A and B are shown apart, each in its own frame.
Chain A
Amino acid sequence: MSTPAVAAQPPRETYINTDWSLRSWLLTIDHKRIAWLYLISISGFFVLGGFFALLIRLELLTPAGDLVSPDTYNRLFTQHGVIMIFLFLIPSIPAVLGNFLIPIQIGAIDVAFPKLNLASWYIYSLGGLFIVIALATGGVDTGWTFYTPLSSTYANSQVMWVAVGVFIVGFSSILTGLNFLVTIHTMRHKDMTWGRLPLFVWASYATSLINVLGTPVVAITILLVGVERMFGLAIFDPALGGDPVLFQHLFWFYSHPAVYIMILPAFGVISELMAGFSRKRIFGYNFIAASSVGIAVLGFIVWAHHLFTTGLSVYAATVFSALTMLIAVPTAVKIINWTTTMYQGSVSWDTPMLYALGFLGLFLVGGLTGVMLATLGIDIHVHDTYFVVAHFHYVMVGGAIMGFLGGLHYWWPKMTGRMYPETFSKLSALLVFAGFNLTFFPQFILGYLGMPRRYHAYPEEFQVLNIFSSAGASILGVGYLLPGLYFAYSLVFGEKAGRNPWGTVGLEWQIPSPPPPHNFVEGEEIVVTDAYDYEHDLIRDDLDRRVGPPRDAREVPVG
């Protein structure tokens, strides 16, 4: 009858409340906290890169170059590219979601090298600092590709600061990749076989391979430009017999695979979302896993398709064209398997799934226009036009960022222990999808009609489509701003999430949200089954016990 003091029970220890001091965050070696350090830094850079995009779209509202000078415009698109690629997209999914999830998904308490993991964040920050210093002292105008001799003999901006920054950030991604590879190889739970790894882990594995094997090549290339600038060594200088095209080969040997560094992790996220929100074992697990590694390997032998117009022999161009088209095969394997996963699944329309479905459509357009660009005749026609700009934004923004946002919405309750407001999140997913298409679809047409990229002025007949594009960009901007607001809101006011708010399968959903400092609750058994095994008795019992039957009323077909 008398009520005992329930409140006396201390709150459960989580990785967040275990120590609130700033020092404990800045010196943490907990992979979950390091994920937060990255999330905060990349969000900052995303806003900065977005700010440059905003100015670009404002300038392009009118045909005349009336907002900024040509020199300033060169800096705007260069800085937009450098920040979005090196400081946002490349670390986005791997360093945030990968850091948080990989150890948990394989049943480990941390990555193999926790201190190195923290060091990677500091290296990333140092590189970011160099780039920020470059921006503050005049900016850079070579394009994110740093082509010589524009970046060496004729450089007239802060190329060196940015190059050194990119060089340093590169080592951050090499070390993160190395850490993940070793973690996946040596830290798995004893029951977590290679054939049971969640597909996000497989995708991260493939990404890490590229990080470790590709990034050093761009590092040495940038170093060579550096010594050419600083000590006058003659490496790429045509006046002395050096070859600027060699720079392009070396640069794209990394930077094309870097496209897969950005998109492969998103593939991994989408695999998780498709299985999770269809409440069904993923279709073609082996094929999806193998296609990730296949894309990583094939990605290394297609780089010269960026050089079709810069003096590649006809034979080489034909070979690289064919190899590039080959990439479409493993990519199609994924798309078809995701679609088939939804077939006869009990699909629910939660926010993460909206992003996943958006991804499917946008990435399909981005991928197919990639095959068009691999075709020699078309590529010569649309080379360096807005067609290319639209293509890679469909892949990078429509693919990688949709994947990142989908993943962030899916695992946010796990990371914070809180749910975000559903209506707003669905609204933002729709705004992103609509705004994105309005921004970038007109650019396909503009490019096909011949509007070149990287100019601040254009003929009047292109204005209508450019206005569409700028209008879409403002919608897209609102769509990106909203999650920032409601995520922050949810941290304090969000509904408590519980262990498994979605009723999905995976080791991360067996542990409390937010997880305890060492991921798994001491003494609680870790149930490792095949990935997404919704029909497994243990899993069904576990789900029923923890979250009840699927939210969707339809019966899950039991085969």
Chain B
Amino acid sequence: MGSHASGVLAHHFHSISQQRAAHSLGMWLFMAQEIMFFGGLFTAYVVYRALNPLDFAVASSELDAVLGGVNTLVLIASSVTMALAVKYAQLGKKNMIVLFLIFTFLFASTFLVIKYFEYSAKFEHHTVPGYDFDFHVPADVIQKFELSPERIATMEKRAEVFFSIYFAMTGLHGLHVFIGMCLIIWLIFPAMKNKFNVDYHSPVENFGLYWHFVDLVWIFLFPLLYLLGRNIH
């Protein structure tokens, strides 16, 4: 009952370990839900890629793999800082938790800033579906594959499907990064008030799970969208 009085243990749990088990299982189930959520998109990607392999390779090689690669490194770095924040939360070291949460936040914002530049380039190049979409198959590809004018015309249409999938996947992922940043701010306040300790740290731990998931999605997105088929030229 002591833990109930301290306010850390909610009224309907009888022990800290029960509460922690519930929070942790809840978060894992939420992750399962997220996997199925993204899973629908990955399915759409796989189906369309299998149906139009060449078209997707050509459209995919338009993406900026350098910026995508830098962003991959940025997110991996953010996962490292997040893992450290969780570690320090388990040890109850207030200043270190806050420090590493801020690092994670900064990496996340870097990711979104880079993403912003990538997106604006798409608007300039008219590769945003439904917004003056105007894709041209590069001359070297036409030559290499001896494409007929009809084939070029369909390829330019299929490119719109690729960019639609690209924006849907990276957009949904970017939204998750943004939500993650909001959650970091939401976590920093209790961390500063020294709320997390050896007994109670599941908010940081569970957010860590979320953050690694967001990172992991990108680890799949980067090769699927940016790298597969770069050798087309």
A interface residues, Cβ below 8 angstroms from B:
108-114, 174, 178-179, 181-183, 185-187, 212-217, 219-221, 223-224, 227-228, 231-235, 239-243, 246, 249-250, 253
Contact B33 A220 (CB under 8 A): no
The distance in angstroms between the C-alpha atoms of A221 and B130, with both chains bound, is 19
Contact A182 B160 (CB under 8 A): no
Which of B19-27, B62-70, B182-190, B218-226 is the interface stretch?
Answer: B19-27
Contact A243 B25 (CB under 8 A): no
Contact (A174, B44) CB under 8 Å given A108-B12, A186-B25, A231-B129: no
How far is the CB of B224 from the nearest CB of chain A, in Å?
16
Using a CB-CB cutoff of 8 Å, which residues 19-57 of chain B contact chain A?
Answer: 21-22, 25-26, 29-30, 32-34, 36-41, 43-44, 47-48, 51-52, 55
Residues from chain B with a CB closer than 8 A to the CB of A217 are: 36-37, 39-40
Using a CB-CB cutoff of 8 Å, which residues 141-189 of chain B contact chain A?
Answer: 154, 157-158, 160-161, 164-165, 167-168, 172
The distance in angstroms between the C-alpha atoms of A253 and B36, with both chains bound, is 11
Contact A233 B33 (CB under 8 A): no
Contact B40 A178 (CB under 8 A): no
Contact A232 B26 (CB under 8 A): no
B120 at the A interface (CB under 8 A): no
Contact B161 A242 (CB under 8 A): yes
Q: Find A241's partner among B11, B40, B44, B158 (CB 8 Å cutoff).
A: B158
Contact A213 B32 (CB under 8 A): yes
Contact A214 B36 (CB under 8 A): yes
Most interface-central of A109, A183, A214, A242 (chain B CB within 10 A): A242
Interface size class of B (residues with CB under 8 A): 35 or more
Q: Find B12's partner among A110, A223, A233 (CB 8 Å cutoff).
A: A110
Contact (A243, B26) CB under 8 Å given A227-B168, A234-B164, A235-B161: no
Contact (A243, B154) CB under 8 Å given A112-B22, A174-B33, A231-B129: no
B117 at the A interface (CB under 8 A): no
Q: Find A250's partner among B40, B157, B160 (CB 8 Å cutoff).
A: B40
Residues from chain A with a CB closer than 8 A to the CB of B167 are: 233
Using a CB-CB cutoff of 8 Å, which residues 83-121 of chain B contact chain A?
Answer: none
B interface residues, Cβ below 8 angstroms from A:
10-13, 18, 21-22, 25-26, 29-30, 32-34, 36-41, 43-44, 47-48, 51-52, 55, 129-131, 154, 157-158, 160-161, 164-165, 167-168, 172
Residues from chain A with a CB closer than 8 A to the CB of B29 are: 178, 181-182, 212
Contact A216 B33 (CB under 8 A): yes
30 A-B interface contacts by CB (under 8 A): A111-B12, A112-B22, A113-B22, A114-B10, A182-B25, A182-B26, A182-B29, A185-B25, A186-B18, A212-B29, A217-B39, A217-B40, A220-B37, A224-B41, A224-B44, A232-B129, A233-B129, A233-B130, A233-B164, A233-B168, A234-B130, A235-B44, A239-B157, A241-B154, A241-B160, A241-B161, A242-B161, A243-B51, A249-B43, A250-B40
Contact B22 A182 (CB under 8 A): yes
Contact B131 A220 (CB under 8 A): no
Residues from chain B with a CB closer than 8 A to the CB of A185 are: 21-22, 25
The chain A residue with its CB closest to the CB of B37 is A216
How far is the CB of A118 from the nearest CB of chain B, in Å?
13
How far is the CB of A392 from the nearest CB of chain B, in Å?
24
Contact A186 B21 (CB under 8 A): yes
The distance in angstroms between the C-alpha atoms of A296 and B14, with both chains bound, is 31
Contact A231 B51 (CB under 8 A): no
Most interface-central of B13, B33, B48 (chain A CB within 10 A): B33
The distance in angstroms between the C-alpha atoms of A114 and B165, with both chains bound, is 38
Contact (A240, B33) CB under 8 Å given A182-B22, A250-B40: no
Contact A213 B18 (CB under 8 A): no
The chain A residue with its CB closest to the CB of B171 is A227
How far is the CB of B49 from the nearest CB of chain A, in Å?
12
Contact (A246, B44) CB under 8 Å given A181-B25, A231-B129: yes
The distance in angstroms between the C-alpha atoms of A195 and B172, with both chains bound, is 42
Contact A212 B33 (CB under 8 A): yes
Residues from chain A with a CB closer than 8 A to the CB of B160 are: 234, 240-241
The distance in angstroms between the C-alpha atoms of A242 and B25, with both chains bound, is 38
Residues from chain B with a CB closer than 8 A to the CB of A232 are: 129-131
How far is the CB of A190 from the nearest CB of chain B, in Å?
9
Residues from chain A with a CB closer than 8 A to the CB of B39 are: 216-217, 220
How far is the CB of A506 from the nearest CB of chain B, in Å?
20
Contact (A221, B22) CB under 8 Å given A212-B33, A235-B164, A241-B52: no
How far is the CB of A164 from the nearest CB of chain B, in Å?
16
Contact A234 B129 (CB under 8 A): yes
Task: Knowing that A224-B44, A231-B129 touch, tell me 9 more A-B residue pairs with CB under 8 angstroms.
Answer: A113-B22, A113-B26, A178-B29, A187-B13, A220-B172, A232-B130, A241-B55, A242-B48, A246-B48
How far is the CB of B58 from the nearest CB of chain A, in Å?
13
Contact B164 A178 (CB under 8 A): no
Contact A213 B21 (CB under 8 A): no
